[in-house]
Structure 1
Amino acid sequence: MAKVQGAIVVNTQVCKGCEVCIPVCQENVIAMSNDVNRKGYHYAYMKNPEACNGCTNCGTVCPDRAITVYRVKVAT
């Protein structure tokens, strides 16, 4: 049976660092970057990418639609 591996892509220039995505990620994949974007906001990034299951919770709650979620089947 195939396992699902997820990945997120954060549009770092759109993300305002509201951190709404962090508590909804049950796999603790997302953290805030120490770097800032051109508007001066810290942005979200995948700190633990191998744990992402592509659940889409982060993309659903993002008020700025800065997160895109991808899911890929991985052969086991």
Structure 2
Amino acid sequence: MPKVMFREERCKGCGHCITVCPKKIIGFSDRLNNKGYHPAYIPEGRMKECIGCASCGRMCPDLVITVEK
């Protein structure tokens, strides 16, 4: 099963990863990171829906996302 990891403290909340996810499982966290942004994340129960396409990681301008297959 693929695993997506977000370096939440580096995320600036641009939302590019949310728009490119074919499964629409990425969203914004309710909490704020140290920079004052709501970081992107995948809710724990939805990670199993990830197909490991890595579109989110390729789209991220700040290299916040790592996808392990």
- TM-score surpassing 0.5? yes
Deviating runs (4+, > 6 A) in structure 1? Answer: none
| Alignment equivalent of 1:49, drawn from 47, 50, 53 | 47
**CA RMSD in angstroms, aligned pairs only:** 0.7
Compute the TM-score of the two structures, normalised by the length of structure 2.
Answer: 0.92
Match of 1:74 in 2: none
Identity of aligned residues (%): 42
| Alignment equivalent of 2:12, drawn from 3, 9, 16 | 16
Is 1:28 matched with 2:30? no
8 Å Cα contact 1:9/1:67 also seen in 2:
yes
**Cα separation, 1, equivalents of 2:15 and 2:62:** 11
Compute the TM-score of the two structures, normalised by the length of structure 1.
Answer: 0.84
Query: In structure 1, the residue corresponding to 2:8 is in which secondary structure?
Result: coil
Unmatched tracts of structure 1, length 5 or more: 72-76
Where is the helix percentage greater, Structure 1 or Structure 2? 2
Query: In structure 1, the residue corresponding to 2:19 is in which secondary structure?
Result: helix
Unmatched tracts of structure 2, length 5 or more: none
Instruction: Give the number of aligned pairs.
Output: 67
Asked which structure has the greater CA Rg, the reply is: 1
